[in-house]
Amino acid sequence: MIVLVLNCGSSSIKYQLFDMPEQKVLSKGLVERIGEVGAALEHQYEDQTHRLEGEILNHEEGIALILETLISPENGVLKNINEIKAVGHRVVHGGEAFTGSVVIDENVIRSIEEVADLAPLHNPPNLTGIRAAMHELPGVPQIACFDTAFHTTIPQVAYMYALPYELYEKFGIRRYGFHGTSHRWVARRAAEMLGKGKYDINCITCHLGNGSSIAAVKDGKSVDTSMGLTPLEGVVMGTRSGDIDPAILFYLADKGYSIADLNKLCNKQSGVLGLSGSSNDMRTLSEKAEAGDERARLALDVFSYRIKKYIGTYTAVLGRLDAVVFTGGIGENAADIRAAICGDLDQIGIGLDPALNASVSGEAKISSDSSRVAVLVIPTNEEAAIAVDTYQMSQA
C-alpha cells in the first residue's frame, strides 16, 4: 500500500512516499520558498536527485507539482496517482481534543482551526496542506498525526500552570508539549533494543535540534515534557530562550520593548544564537569554542547544563530509569554535547563509554559497562511514524 506523508510549513512542503507496511521509502523531497522568488522542488529517488526551479505560488501548486513529479516518466516512482491510497499529515497542535492520529473530516479541521492561535506558525500551514491534498486527491483517506498527541497522557499535576484556573478553562492555557511523534518513535525503539515491551520501559528521551525538548516516559507513556503551551518553554534551543523568569519580559516592556519585539527576542534572537552572538549551529559553535571563542563555549555549556538539569529532574519523577535516549540532529551527531550532558551523572547511574560515544554512527548503545542506565542514540523517524499511523488508520 502506497502512503504519502506531508509536512507543510509556512513556505515549504516536505514529503516522503512509503510502501507499507514494509516502511520502504520510494522517494522523498522538499518544495521550498513557496510564494517567493527562487521557489524550487528537490526530489530524491533511487539514489538520484532531481531539482526543478520555477514559480510555485501556493501550497496547492506545490502539492500538485509533487504529485506530477511522482508519476513523471523521467523522475517518477509511480505509474499513476491512483496508487496513493492514503495521505498522512504532520499537525503540530491538537490541543486536548486529540489523543492520537485521526481520519480527517470537517469536524477535525474545525478542531485544528480552533487551536491554531496556540501554534500560529504551524497549524495554519498544516491546514493549508491538508486542504490542498484533499483537493488534489479527492476520496483518498487523509490522516492527521499530532505532535501533541503522545503527551496527552501527562497528568494534571504536570501540565497545569500555577495561574488562575479560569485561564485554563477559558483559554486552554496548560502544558501541551511537542515533538511527540519523535519522542514516541524513539521510546518504542528503545524498548525494543532493551528487550522490553513498549509499555514496560521508563526512559528520558532527548530530542535535540534547533528546537529541542525532553520527555519523561513512564511505562511507555509520556508523563512530563519540557515544552509547554508553546514550543518556547524548556531547554535552551537554537534561537529560543527556553525557561526564563517571566518578569524579564515585564522589565523589558517598561524599557520600551513591544509585544512583537519580545516575541522576536525570545523566539528568534535568543538560545545559543543569543548567547554566542554568532551562530545557532552547534557545529559552528564547537569549532569556534575549540578556537578559543569564550561566548561560543558559554553557549555550548549552558545548552548542555540545562539538559542535564532536566535529566536529573525527570529521573526523580520516574523513580526507575532504564534509558536515556538521544535523537534529533544534535542528539544523533554531536558526541561532545552528549558527553557534556552525561558528565558527572554517575551518581544516578548514567555513564558513557567515551570510545563508543565518539565513534557512533546511526543507532547505538553508548553507555559504559558499569552504567546502570542504558544510554542510547536512536535516529528519529517522524515520517515513518506518521506512515505507520496512516496505514493503520486507513485500514480501520
What is the predicted pLDDT for the residue at 278? 97
Report d(CA 118, CA 176) in Å as an integer. Answer: 10
Give the chain's domains with CATH numbers: 2-146 (3.30.420.40), 197-377 (3.30.420.40)
CA neighbor of 367 nearest in space, from 319, 321, 328, 330: 321
**Collapsing DSSP states into helix, strand and coil, what is residue 4?**
strand
What is residue 70's predicted lDDT score, i.e. its pLDDT?
96
- How far apart are alpha carbons 326 and 378 in whole angstroms? 6
Backbone angles phi, psi at 50, to 5 degrees: -115, 125
Pick out the chain residues at pLDDT < 70: none
Note the pTM of the prediction, 2 decimals. 0.92
pLDDT value, residue 115: 87
3-state secondary structure of 208: coil
Rounded Cα gap, residues 202 and 318, in angstroms: 7
353 is annotated as an active-site residue? no
* Beta-ladder partners of 13: 8, 31
**Per residue in 342-363, is it b (16+ CB within 10 Å) or e — as a string?**
beebeeeebbbbeebbeebeee
Q: Which of 19, 105, 147, 336 is catalytic?
A: 147
Q: 150 near 180, Cβ under 8 Å?
A: yes
The reply to whether omega before 21 is within 30° of 0 (cis) is: yes
pLDDT for position 117: 84
Distance in angstroms (rounded) separating the CA atoms of residues 236 and 110 = 33
The pLDDT value given to residue 122? 82
d(CA 310, CA 295): 23
